[in-house]
Amino acid sequence: MTNIKIIDYKAGNSQSVQHALAKIGYTSSFARCAEDLHHASHIILPGVGSARATMDTIHDYKLSEVLAKMVLQEKTPFLGICVGLQVLFEYSPEGDAECLGWLKGSVKQFDKTQVRVPQMGWNKVEFLRDANGIEPRKDMASDDYFYFVNSYYAVPSDACDQWAIAHYGIPFTAAVHRGNIYGMQFHVEKSGEAGLRLLHGFLSHELKGGTVC
């Protein structure tokens, strides 16, 4: 039985995520404090806004400790979307933000002399491997197009954490995965059928520990 919680932080895209989940048959509710996360089967952190604003709200809502316990110790499946992916890492220069640090690595800004910033629109994503049974060629089309709005991108220290890549001037990390932790730089909730298939894959599969690389 699923008990999906969407972290409803101040600059987030929570309602769009909830609507996308409803389209594939899942009910969900918003979490605005630590108590709201109790008994969650899955946790989703949507992303609109800056890394600093996201981390400030996580701290203001006193979610840091309960998230660390549920995700890192209890292995509750977690999905970070857009900025929600970036704050999985250790540091972002966007607002000089110390982030969650669940994954090793940092965040960089696209070179404004090479590409238009932010990247806005559809971009092709290449999935490098399956992830705990979420197999791109079964649950979604390999090399599908997804919708991006981002000025920054994550640089994992461990290549095994990189799940998918896209290109915008340079190749960059489009999705990450380690054990029960997933992150998608694109807006999966705004990416049509491909995004819905990926959301369904995250919610419907039994997730195992460890990293496939």
H-run or E-run covering 109? strand 105-109
Tens digits of residue pLDDT in 64-96: 999 999 999 999 999 999 999 999 999 999 999
Are the C-beta atoms of 5 and 36 separated by less than 8 Å? yes
pLDDT digits (tens, 9 = 90+) for 30-71: 999 999 999 999 999 997 688 998 898 899 999 999 999 999
Longest Cα–Cα distance in the chain? 49
In the chain, % of residues over pLDDT 90? 77
Active site residues: 82, 187, 189
For the record, the structure tokens of 27 come out as: 């009910």
- Give me the CATH topology for the region 4-204: Rossmann fold (3.40.50)
The conformation of residue 72, written as its DSSP 8-state character, comes to: I
Q: What is the pLDDT of residues 192-213, one digit of tens each?
A: 999 999 999 999 864 443 445 6
Query: What amino acid is encoded at 15 in this protein?
Result: Q
pLDDT band at 11 (very low <50, low <70, confident <90, very high): low
pLDDT number for residue 137: 45
Bridge partners, residue 29, by sequence: 5
Categorize the per-residue pLDDT at 139 as very low, low, confident or very high, splitting at 50, 70 and 90: very low
Residue 29: C-alpha distances to residues 18, 24, 196, 197 (Å): 8, 15, 18, 20
153 and 110 Cβ atoms separated by less than 8 Å:
yes
Could you tell me if 54 and 47 are in contact, meaning their C-beta atoms sit under 8 angstroms apart?
yes
**Coil, strand or helix: which one is 8?**
coil
